[in-house]
Structure 1
Amino acid sequence: MAKESGISKILAGTFVFLTISVIAGIVTMIIFYKTEIALMDPTPRPMFTSSTTSLPPVIRLPKNLVPQSYQVVNVTSPNQTMLFTGNSTVTFHCVQGTSVVYLHSRNLDVSGPVVMNKDTNERIGVSSMKNEEDTRNFLEIQLNAALEAGGNYSLFLAFNGEITENLNGVFVSTYAQGSPAFLAATNLEPADARTVFPCFDEPEMKAVFHVTIIHRRDTVALGNADMRGEIHSNILDDVWKVTYFYPTPKMSTYLFAFTVSEFTDSNVLCALCYRCVLPTQTYARPDAIAAGHAKYAANITGKILKFYENYFGINYEQKTLDQIALPDLGVGAMENWGLITYQEGGLLYEDGVSSLLHKEVIATLIAHELAHQWFGNLVTMKWWNDIWLNEGFATYLSFFAVAHMEPYSKMKDSYFMSNLHAAFEVDALASSHPLSPPQEDVQMTFEIEDMFDAITYCKVQSNETRNEYIYDVGVCMYLSDFSYKNTDQNDLWEYIQKAEDEDGGHTTVAKVMNTWTKQMGYPVITINTTNGEVYQKQFLFNDSSESSLWWYIPIRVMSNAAEPSLVWLESIKKDEFIAKSGEWILANVNCAGYYRVNYNRENWERLSTQLETDPHRIPLMNRGQLVDDAFNLARAKLIEVTLALNSTRFLQNERALLPWESTVRNLEYFVLMFDRSEVYGPMQACGMKASFCLHSQILAIDVACSNALPECSAMATKMFANWMDNNRTNRIHPNLRSVIYCQAVAAGGAKEWEFAWDKFQSSIDTSEKDQLREALSCTKKIWLLNRYLKYTLNPEKIRLMDVGSTILSIADNVAGQALAWNFIRAHWEYVSNGGAASLIEGVTRRFSTQFELEELERFAADNNLSPTKYLQQAVEQTQVNIVWVSENKDSVLKWFENETAS
C-alpha cells in the first residue's frame, strides 16, 4: 500500500484525461447480478493449510484463468512525486468455470474493477474486491456471475503505487548532471511485477504486453519493445509526453520493464548475420555517453548477438535491443526482454582508466544477459525451482561467446575454474540444495530468492556426462520447439535424448542427469592405485553428516603411461586402476566432471613428484584442480592437512596463472581461520616467499603486500604518494590500481584515506569509483573503518546498491570484521536492503568459535530471520570451522614454522 493517500494534481489530471470514459462507464454501468452462488461452480479459494499440519501453504494462483495480453498505462514523474499511477486491462481465457478472479497485487491502491465478456461484449458485475495482505499477495475479485469454460474475458483495474527507494518494483535513482537529476526504473525478478500493476505474476503465465508510458516532456521512456510513436499532450502545464510501444513477444511478467530518464544513447547500428541491421542502443548518463564510456559495450553487443544466432540457429526475436547503465540497481544486471538493465560498472568502460579485468567482466556480463534472450526470455522455466535452465545456461554460454570474441584470452579457463569452485564450496554443505528441487520446496518469496546462488549459476557448466555435439543439437531443438513456452528440466532431457537416439547412442539421459540435478551435493571419488579399489560417496565438509546419495559418474582417466580415456564408475574392471611400479593415475582429466578425486597417499606423492619435476605432463586445469581437491579434502578431514600444503611446492617452478589462483584462493580459508592467532606470523612469512615465485604482476603485488613484504608496501605507498602530489594525473596503471590503492590506504593513515575519499566522491568514472570504494575499506585504522561504516547509512555518500558490498569489504579486513558484525546487527533493517543473504554469509566467514556461533544464532532469533538457506549455511559453516580449527591448528602452525625455517 502506498504511504501517501493521494496523488499530485498534475498526475491526477493526466490520469483523468486517459481514463475518464472508463470511469464514467464504471459509475453508470456496474450491475450486481442476483445469481445464486451455488449455481456458479466457483473455483475453491486458495487457502493456507492449518498451522498444525506439515503441508506447505497454497500460495500459487489457480490455473483456471490463462492471461493472453495486457494493456498497461503508467504515469511516472520521479522528479515531481514519489507516486506512479495508471491502469491495466488484462485479457484472459477461462479454462474452468469460476466466479472468482485471483491475480497478484502488492503495495498498490487498486480500484474500479470492470470485467467484460469479450465474446458477447457484456459486462459482468463485481460484488467485492480485496487484497490479501499476506505472503500470497492475492487480489481477490468476487463476481456476480460465473465465467464459463472456453470463454474470453477482460479485467480493467485502475491503480496507484509508490516509487520506492529500495531498488525493487518501480524505483527512483538520482545522479549528478549539473544539478541532481532523477530517473525511474523497474526491477521485477522474481516477484515484483505485482507491485507495478495487478497481474498473474507467475513465470508460466505468459502474455503479450501493450504498454503506454506517460512522462515528462524532457525525459525518454524505454520499454520492452520498440517505440511505436510519441505525442505531446497539453495537460495542465504542457510538459507531458505519451510514449506508445509496439506489442511485446509473449513473455513472463518478471521480464516487464521500463525506464524514464534524461539519458542519451550511443546510437550504434549492429549488422547481424543474414538479415537487416538491428539497432542496438546503449543508454547512460549524458556525460558518460559524450565521453565514449558506452562505446565498448555498444560495439561488442552485436558481435555477441551474432554468435548466439549462429549457435542456436534462431534469430533474436525483437526489432530492437536497448541496454541502459543505471546509477542504481539491486542486481548486477537484469535480462528484461528488449531492455536490459545494468549497474553502471557492468556496462561503462573508459580507456586508460578501466582495467583489462573490468573489460572482461563487462564482456562476460553482456554475454550472460544476451544469452538470456533465448534461455529465459524465449523459453522460460515453468517455475522457479528450475531457474537453473535460465541462469546456468546463461553462465555456461557466456564463456563461449567471450572466448569466440577473444580467442587468445585465457579468461575462459580462469572463469570456468572460479565458477566451478564457487559451486563446490556451497554444495559441500549439508544445507545445500538440488539444482532442481521439487516445486513444493520453492514456494515462498525467500525460498525463490534462495535459488539465485552459486549452485544455480555455476553447477551446470561442468559435466562429463554430456557429449558436446549431441548436447548442442538437443538444446537447439529444445529452444526451437519451446519458443514462447515454458519448460521444466524433463523437457530438456527429452530433447537431448532425441539427439542421442538419432546419433545411435544408448545413454538414458534423464536417468543419468537426474542424479546430478535432483540430488544436492556432489561425490568424491576415492581411488586406491595399490589394490584398484574405486568408490564414491557424497563430499561434505561436515564429516558427521551421513549420506546414501549415489551418482552416475563418468571418469576421464590418464596416467604417465597412457593417454586419457573415459570409463563409467559402475563399469570399472577390478584391476583397471591398479598402478604399475612408479606409475601415477590422474582422474577427472581437464576437470570436466563435477566431482572431487581422492587417492591413496602413494599416488598423491607420485603426482606431486611429477608436478615438481615436469608439471606440463599434467594438464593445466588439473594442476589447479589437484591443489583445490587437496585443500578441500583436508577441510573435510579425508586427508591430512600437511599433504594439502605439500601439494603447493611445485609452484616455485609454475609459470601459469591458473594453479596460482587456485592456491591463493584456497589459502584464503587458512587466512580467515588463523589471521587472529599465532599461526598468522609464520603464514605471512611463507606468503612473502611465495610472492617472489609469482609470474602474474597483479597477483604477486597483492600476495606480497597482503603478507606485509616491506618492499611491496613501500612501492604502493610511493606510487600513491606521487598521485597525491600531482593528482591531476594518475600515473598508476589501470590494471594495478585496485591493489595499489588498497595497499597504500592500508599502509597509510588519515591523509591517504581522506584523499581516496575525496577522489571517490569527485570521480565520474564508475570503474575508478568502485576501486576507490573498495580501497577505503583496506585501512587498518579502526576509527576510519567506523566512520566508513556510518557513511553506508547515508545514500548521498554510499548508494544503497553499494551498501552490502562496502560492508563486506570492511568485513574482509581483519581489522574491520568485528566492527562490521556489530554494525549490521545494530542497523539490520537498513543494511539488509542491500542484500541480507550476502551480508550474513560474508560477515561471518571468519567465525570459528562457539561464542561466535551462539552470537549468530542469537542474532537470527532476535531479528526473526526467515530460515533461508544462506542463514543455515552460515551456521553450518561456522560449526565446521570450529571443529576444523581445533583439530588442525597445531599441524598448520608446525608446517608453516618448518617451511619458514627452511
Structure 2
Amino acid sequence: MSTDKASKAEGRVLLPSTIIPSRYDIKLTPDLTAFTFQGEVSIQLDTSADLNCKEITMHAKELCFISASFTADGKTVEAEQINDNKKATTVTFVFAETVPSSSTIVMNISYIGFLNNQMAGFYRSSYTDIHGNKKIMASTQFESLDARRAFPCWDEPARKAVFGVTLVVPAELDAMTNMPEKCCKSLEGGKLKEITYLDSPKMSSYLLAFCVGEFDYVQAQTDHGVLVKVFTPPGKSEAGMFALECALKSLDAYDDFFGIPYPLPKLDMVAIPEFAAGAMENWGLVTYREVDLLIDPKKASNSQKQRVCTVVTHELAHQWFGNLVTMAWWDDLWLNEGFASWAENWAADQIYPEWTMWDQFTTGHLSYAMKLDSLKSSHPIQVPIRHAEEVEEVFDGISYCKGGSVVRMICAVLGMKAFQTGLGNYMKKFAYGNTETIDLWTAWEETSGMPINEMMSSWTEQMGFPLLKVIGETWEADKVTLELEQSWFLSDGSTPEEEKKWCIPILTVTDDGKQKDMIFMREKTAKIEIPLTSVTSWVKLNAGQEVPMRVLPTETMIERLSEGIRNKTLPVSDRAALVTDGYALVKSGHMPPEDLIKLLSSYINEDAYNVWQGLADVLSGLNTITQDDEGMNSNFKVFARKLVIQLQSVVGWEKRETDGHLTVLLRSIMTGLLAKFCANDESVVQEAKTRFTKFQEDAGDMQNLPSDMRSSVFRIILKNGGEKEWNDVKSYFYTASDQAERKFVLGTLGATNDDKLKNQTLEWAVSGEVKLQDFFYPMGSVVSSKAGAEVAWKFYQANFEKIKTMIGKGNPSLMDACIVNCAGGFCTSEKADEIEAFFKANPLPSNGRKIAQCVEGMRTNSKFFDKLKASELSNDSFWKSL
C-alpha cells in the first residue's frame, strides 16, 4: 500500500528547485507605535546548472518592497520589476540580466512589513503592565505559512537554511530570537539598540522566531548543562517556576531518550498575551499562550498544572522531532505532531508517574482520535497536500491524537528497547535534514526485524480504523477460543462503500493480570486461543487500549468482564475503554442500547479518575442525545444521578490534605457532573451558594473553592440565578489575577437559563473586551442546553460577517472553534441540513473539513436518537428495573 517518494511529490505546488537558499541575514526594526517594521534581508542562493531565466521568485505576503538586487562575482544587478502575486503569496524580482547558473549569488532586499493583530506572522499583542498601563509587544507565529509575512523567503519545510538575525528595538525593551546574543550596541543617542544574534543551525523557515517587549524571567540550568529561561509578564516571574521545572526535567529526559544532546546553546520559553494556538515549538525560543505556560503557585488547578506540563513536554519533544529532523512536506505533518503527542505523555509520565498519563491517554487522545476518525469526513494520517495552504485543515485530532495513538501502538508492538534504538538511529542519520514517514518505518524495521512498513501503511495511509468483532467463542475450563472478524468502523453504523483491512496487533489480558502473546491479524477473519486460569475467567481484547480500534465482545464476554469492573480486577484503562467502546458501538447500532445502560450500572462503585473521564463523556453524550424526548431524558437523568451521587459520597466536596493529583481531578469531574445532573438539588445548590459567597469575600480562599471546582460552582450559581448572579460571575473576569482564572468566567457565563443573558454573553464575546484568542469560549458556554444551542446558532448567523472580520486572516482554528461552539450543539438531521445550507451560501474554504465533521456528527446523533426511541429506553419499566 505504501507509495514511493516520487509519486507522493507529484502535483505539489513548490517554488522552482533551480534556486536554493543556504543562508539568510535578516535585520528588522519594529515600530510598536505605528505597527510596522522595516526589513532588510540578504539571502545566499545556490543556482543550478539548468537555470536559465532573468527572474527570482520567493514567498512573500503583505510586504511592501522598496528595492532588490543580486550580487554575483562582484557585480550588483538591480531588479527592474517587483511583481507581487497576492493569490500565490509570492514575489518575483525581474532583472535585465540573466541570473547566473551554477553559482552562489547574494540577493539583497529592502522592504516594509506590518505588525498585524491577527496572531500570524510578525504580529502585535496588547497587555496591561504592573502599573495598569496598556502596552504593545511583538512576537511571531510562522507555522505553517507565515514566515513570508516577516521576510521574503523559501517558505517550505525542506528549504532549510542558516539564519543570522539582527533586531533594532527601543533600548528599554527585551528582544530575543532562536539563538543567544552575539553583540549589542546603542543607537540614536541611546533610544534604540541593535542586537545581533549568533547564527542558527540549519533549519526550516517556520521555526524562526522573534519576541520584543517587557519581560521578567526565571532561569536554571539542566543537569546536562543547558540554560533554560521562562519569560513572563513583568511582576509575574514566580508564575514561570512550574514550567521551568518541567522543562529542566524533560530536556534531560529527551537527551537520554534520543541519545542526542539538545542541539542549541539555550532554551527560552515565552508567555505571549495573545496567541492563537496553545504553543509553538520555534527552535530555542518556544512561544506559549500565557495560560499554557504560567502557573499561579497558590491558585492553579491540578488540571492546569497537567496542561502546562504536557504542553511544555510536547513542544520540547519537537526540538528533536520536527526541528532537528523535519518532515519534507506538509503531508507528513503527523510525523511532527503525532510523535510529539506521544512524547508529551511519555515525558510527563517520567516526571510525574503518579499522574498515570498512559491511563489518561485512553480517555483523552485515543478517545478523541476515534471520535473524529469514525466519520466519513475524516482523512488519513498521511493526507496528500498539494497547495501548502491545505495543511491548515489537518492541524487536527487526526494528525495529533490519532498520530500519537499510532506511535503508542508501534511502541507496544516493538517493545521500548527497539522503539527507542530505532528513533535514536533515525535522529542521527537525518539530523538537520528532512524525512518522510517511510524513513522512520525503515529505522524501526532495522532495529526490530519486523515488517513495519507493511504493517503501518494500513494505519497511516487509509482513513478510519477497524471494528474487531467476536463472531464465535468456545469456552473451556483452561482456555477460550475466539473467532474474530475485522471491518471498517463508521460511527453512524452505515455499510462502508469499500472493504478495508488493517494489520492488527491482537493484545489480550485475562484476570491473572498478565498480557498474553501478541499475534497479528492481517486477514478479514482470524481465530485465537487464550489460556485461562479458571472457568469464570474474563478476557479483554485490545489490552490497555494500545490499538486504535473498537472491540465488539459477545454477551458472555461482557457478563464476565462486568465482574472485573465491579471487583476492579480489570485494569483502569480497560475499564475506561469498555465504556467508551460501548457507547460508540451502541451509537453505530452494533450493540443494543439496553446493554450499554446495564454495562454502565456495573460502575456504581467506580472511583478511578481515568474511568470517570470516560463515564462523564458517555453520560454527557447520552444526556445531549435524549434531550428531544422529555420522558427518556428524565429517566436517564435519574439513572445518571445515582452514579454521580454515589461518586459524591466517595469523593465529597471538601478538599483534603491527603488528596493526590488524581483525587483532585476526580472531584472536579464530580462537581462538573453535579452541575449537569443535580444542579437543582437543594443540597447541591446550597453547597454551591455557600462556597460562592465565601469566594466573593476572598477569591484567594483555595480551601472553600479550589480552582478545580470553580467552573462547576459558577455553572450551578448561574443555572439557579438571574441577572445579579450573572453580573457577579462576570465581575470576576475583571478582578481575576491571571488568565487561567479569567477562563473560568469565559467558559461558564452562558450557563444561565435566561435567553436574554445568554445573548448578552454572546454580545460580550464579540465586543472587543474579550481577546480574539479567547472569544469563542463564552460562545461554547451558552450551548449547555437545547435552548442555548438555538440562541448560539442564531447569534452566529446574525453576526457572521462581524465574526469573520474579527478573525480576518488569522489562524483558521479560531473560526473552527466558533463553528463547533455555535453550530455543533444539535442532534437532528433538520439542523444538519440548515447548517450545511448556511455554509453553502456563506462558504469558508479553510474550515470546510470542520463544517463537514460537525454536520456529519449531527446526522449520526439523529440516527442514534432514533435507535434509542426504538429501544426499551423509551419505556419507564426498563429504567425501574435497573
TM-score (norm 2): 0.90
Instruction: Return the match for 1:749 from 722, 726, 734.
Output: 722
Q: How does 1:723-742 map to 2 (within 5 A)?
A: 723-725=695-697, 729=701, 731-742=704-715
CA–CA distance in 1 between the matches of 2:537 and 2:356? 31
Task: Report what 1:21 is aligned to.
Answer: none
CA–CA distance in 1 between the matches of 2:447 and 2:187? 56
Q: CA RMSD for the aligned pairs?
A: 2.3
**Does the residue aligned with 1:287 lie in a helix, a strand or coil?**
coil
Shift of 1:141: 2.1
Q: Residues 133 and 435 of structure 1: is their aligned pair in 2 closer, same or farther, counting only changes over 3 Å?
A: same
Contact 2:776-2:821 within 8 A present in 1 as well: no
Determine whether 1:879 maps to 2:852. no
**Does the residue aligned with 1:564 lie in a helix, a strand or coil?**
coil
CA–CA distance in 1 between the matches of 2:152 and 2:785? 45
Task: Report what 1:555 is aligned to.
Answer: 506
- Count of aligned positions: 825
Residues 709-758 of structure 1 deviation map (CA, whole Å, 9 limit, x = unaligned): 33212211221023334567564223322322232233222222212222
Instruction: Return the match for 2:22 from 68, 71, 80.
Output: 68
Task: Report what 1:3 is aligned to.
Answer: none
Contact 2:502-2:522 within 8 A present in 1 as well: no
Shift of 1:455: 1.2
**Does the residue aligned with 1:802 lie in a helix, a strand or coil?**
coil
Task: Report what 1:6 is aligned to.
Answer: none
Residues 126-154 of structure 1 deviation map (CA, whole Å, 9 limit, x = unaligned): 342201121x2121223333334431112
Segment of structure 1 superposing worse, 361-370 or 762-771: 762-771
- Letter matched to residue 115 of structure 1: F
Task: Report what 1:638 is aligned to.
Answer: 590
Instruction: Return the match for 1:859 from 838, 856, 863.
Output: 838
Determine whether 1:870 maps to 2:850. yes
Shift of 1:183: 0.6
Contact 1:435-1:455 within 8 A present in 2 as well: yes
CA–CA distance in 2 between the matches of 1:68 and 1:386? 23
Q: How does 1:260-339 map to 2 (within 5 A)?
A: 260-266=212-218, 268-273=219-224, 277-289=225-237, 292-339=238-285
Contact 1:103-1:200 within 8 A present in 2 as well: yes
CA–CA distance in 2 between the matches of 1:575 and 1:196? 59
Q: Residues 429 and 729 of structure 1: is their aligned pair in 2 closer, same or farther, counting only changes over 3 Å?
A: closer
Contact 2:20-2:47 within 8 A present in 1 as well: yes
CA–CA distance in 1 between the matches of 2:555 and 2:416? 34
Residues 85-130 of structure 1 deviation map (CA, whole Å, 9 limit, x = unaligned): 211111111124131312101111123110112xx12224534220
Residues 384-412 of structure 1 deviation map (CA, whole Å, 9 limit, x = unaligned): 11111111111111111111111222344
Instruction: Return the match for 2:693 from 721, 726, 729.
Output: 721
**Does the residue aligned with 2:688 lie in a helix, a strand or coil?**
helix
CA–CA distance in 2 between the matches of 1:718 and 1:775? 19
Instruction: Return the match for 1:707 from 677, 702, 706.
Output: 677
**Does the residue aligned with 1:293 lie in a helix, a strand or coil?**
helix
Shift of 1:824: 2.0
Shift of 1:430: 1.2
Residues 787-843 of structure 1 deviation map (CA, whole Å, 9 limit, x = unaligned): 121112222x20010012331232345442222212222223443527112322343
**Does the residue aligned with 1:633 lie in a helix, a strand or coil?**
helix
Q: Residues 811 and 704 of structure 1: is their aligned pair in 2 closer, same or farther, counting only changes over 3 Å?
A: closer
Task: Report what 2:328 is aligned to.
Answer: 382
Segment of structure 1 superposing worse, 562-571 or 337-346: 562-571
Task: Report what 1:84 is aligned to.
Answer: 37
Shift of 1:161: 1.8
CA–CA distance in 2 between the matches of 1:304 and 1:628? 31
Instruction: Return the match for 2:416 from 468, 472, 478.
Output: 468
Runs of 5+ consecutive residues of structure 1 not aligned to the other structure? 1-54
Shift of 1:670: 1.5
Shift of 1:196: 0.8
Contact 1:687-1:704 within 8 A present in 2 as well: no
Contact 1:541-1:880 within 8 A present in 2 as well: yes
Q: Residues 361 and 621 of structure 1: is their aligned pair in 2 closer, same or farther, counting only changes over 3 Å?
A: same
Instruction: Return the match for 2:783 from 811, 814, 830.
Output: 811
- Letter matched to residue 68 of structure 1: S
Instruction: Return the match for 1:681 from 628, 634, 654.
Output: 634
Determine whether 1:522 maps to 2:465. yes
Q: How does 1:85-484 map to 2 (within 5 A)?
A: 85-95=38-48, 96-99=50-53, 100-117=55-72, 120-134=73-87, 136-177=88-129, 178=131, 179-234=133-188, 238-266=190-218, 268-273=219-224, 277-289=225-237, 292-440=238-386, 443-445=387-389, 447-459=390-402, 460-461=404-405, 462-463=408-409, 464-484=412-432
Higher RCO (C-alpha under 8 Å, 6+ residues apart): 2
Q: Residues 852 and 563 of structure 1: is their aligned pair in 2 closer, same or farther, counting only changes over 3 Å?
A: closer
- Letter matched to residue 249 of structure 1: P
Q: Residues 627 and 744 of structure 1: is their aligned pair in 2 closer, same or farther, counting only changes over 3 Å?
A: same
CA–CA distance in 2 between the matches of 1:416 and 1:272? 33
CA–CA distance in 2 between the matches of 1:728 and 1:304? 31
Task: Report what 1:30 is aligned to.
Answer: none
Task: Report what 2:655 is aligned to.
Answer: none
CA–CA distance in 2 between the matches of 1:309 and 1:640? 50
Determine whether 1:497 maps to 2:440. no
Residues 546-566 of structure 1 deviation map (CA, whole Å, 9 limit, x = unaligned): 231111111012445885221
CA–CA distance in 2 between the matches of 1:784 and 1:576? 61
- Letter matched to residue 809 of structure 1: S
- Letter matched to residue 782 of structure 1: D
CA–CA distance in 2 between the matches of 1:826 and 1:452? 28
**Does the residue aligned with 1:116 lie in a helix, a strand or coil?**
strand
**Does the residue aligned with 1:308 lie in a helix, a strand or coil?**
helix
Q: Residues 677 and 241 of structure 1: is their aligned pair in 2 closer, same or farther, counting only changes over 3 Å?
A: farther
Segment of structure 1 superposing worse, 695-704 or 537-546: 695-704
Contact 1:673-1:846 within 8 A present in 2 as well: no
**Does the residue aligned with 2:503 lie in a helix, a strand or coil?**
coil
Runs of 5+ consecutive residues of structure 2 not aligned to the other structure? 1-8, 475-481, 651-665, 808-812
CA–CA distance in 2 between the matches of 1:739 and 1:551? 42
CA–CA distance in 2 between the matches of 1:309 and 1:133? 43
Contact 1:686-1:896 within 8 A present in 2 as well: no
Task: Report what 1:533 is aligned to.
Answer: 483
Task: Report what 2:557 is aligned to.
Answer: 603
**Does the residue aligned with 2:418 lie in a helix, a strand or coil?**
helix
Q: How does 1:660-671 map to 2 (within 5 A)?
A: 660-671=612-623
**Does the residue aligned with 1:876 lie in a helix, a strand or coil?**
helix
Q: Residues 638 and 248 of structure 1: is their aligned pair in 2 closer, same or farther, counting only changes over 3 Å?
A: same
Shift of 1:58: 6.0
Shift of 1:846: 2.8
Q: How does 1:39-54 map to 2 (within 5 A)?
A: none
Determine whether 1:619 maps to 2:571. yes
Task: Report what 2:735 is aligned to.
Answer: 762
Shift of 1:453: 0.7
- Letter matched to residue 305 of structure 1: L
Q: Residues 163 and 886 of structure 1: is their aligned pair in 2 closer, same or farther, counting only changes over 3 Å?
A: same
Residues 179-230 of structure 1 deviation map (CA, whole Å, 9 limit, x = unaligned): 1111111111110111111110111111111111111122111111111122
TM-score (norm 1): 0.88
